[in-house]
Amino acid sequence: MADPIPLTVEFTGGLEMLFSDQRKHKISIPGQDEDGSASNVAYLIHWLCDNLMKDPRKEMFVLDDSVRPGVLVLINDSDWELEGEANYELQPNDNVVFVSTLHGG
């Protein structure tokens, strides 16, 4: 069994409303998913829905198995598209930020 992975996840741009109105969460997720693969961001998104999100409006966070359009995922201050997107394998103490884009002005 792989060791659990401690992470900091943050929600901003309004997404914090879906996570008990709290922006920053220190969590620890299993080191492997159900199939024994190293935990990646896709697995983290599922895990957050199942374990951290109390709000029933899942569609405000996920759509078609990934984050909904208009949500950016930032891994250690980089857009996840630069890090392999959902396939990025999480490392201990990674900082993962979920940002909903704003449109007001």
Question: Contact positions toward other proteins, by CB under 8 A?
Answer: 12-14, 23, 55-57, 59-60, 63, 68-72, 74, 77-79, 81-82, 99-105
Q: Give the shortest CB-96-to-other proteins separation in angstroms.
A: 12
Kindly tell me the burial class for residue 64, based on how many C-beta atoms sit within 10 Å of its own C-beta (0-12, 13-18, 19 or more).
Answer: exposed
Look at strands 5-12 and 24-29 and give their pairing: antiparallel
Q: Give the shortest CB-48-to-other proteins separation in angstroms.
A: 17
Q: Name the DSSP letter for residue 83.
A: T
Closer CB to other proteins, 12 or 40, in the complex: 12
Q: Give the shortest CB-27-to-other proteins separation in angstroms.
A: 18
Cβ atoms within 10 Å of 90's Cβ, excluding its own? 19
- The identity of residue 64, as a single letter, is D
Closer CB to other proteins, 1 or 103, in the complex: 103
